[in-house]
Amino acid sequence: MAIATTVIAAAKAALEKNGYVTELDVPELKDRDVLHEIEEQLSTNEHDAGNLDYLYAESFDYAGGRIANIIWDMDQIPTRHEAMLTLGKVLDLSIPTVTMGAADNVEY
């Protein structure tokens, strides 16, 4: 799948400004396949330019079943958890709470 150069340029601009790219910057990121294509193209372009930043793309689950995608520079956001928190804050999404039942606490 070919990604338009304007989309890659918008993703690069957001990455340079924020250290991450979300669907607010590039609406095409709502599609997980496009997310990975954009990340791959950004990484290739950056490495070709001699920039050795490590970019990562991930889909995260939020409360209400919402799945959102982010590409981030791991030099600026070092962990997946921080990326999930950042994406949730930017998109105003709540992180689901884990509820354990009585059976979850029993050792067998």
Max Cα separation, the chain? 56
How confident is the model over 25-49, as pLDDT tens digits? 999 999 999 999 999 999 998 888 8
Q: Give domain status of residue 69, yes or no.
A: yes
Q: Give domain status of residue 105, yes or no.
A: no
Please tell me what DSSP assigns to residue 96.
P
- Count how many residues are written for the chain: 108
Q: Give domain status of residue 76, yes or no.
A: yes
Number of domains in the chain: 1
Collapsed DSSP state (helix, strand, coil) of residue 79: coil
- CATH code, domain with 28: 1.10.10
Q: Give domain status of residue 30, yes or no.
A: yes
Q: What domain range is 73 assigned to? A: 5-96
Q: Give domain status of residue 101, yes or no.
A: no
Please tell me what DSSP assigns to residue 4.
P
How confident is the model over 12-27, as pLDDT tens digits? 999 999 999 999 999 9
Residue 5 — very low, low, confident or very high, per pLDDT cuts 50/70/90?
very high
Residue 97 — very low, low, confident or very high, per pLDDT cuts 50/70/90?
confident
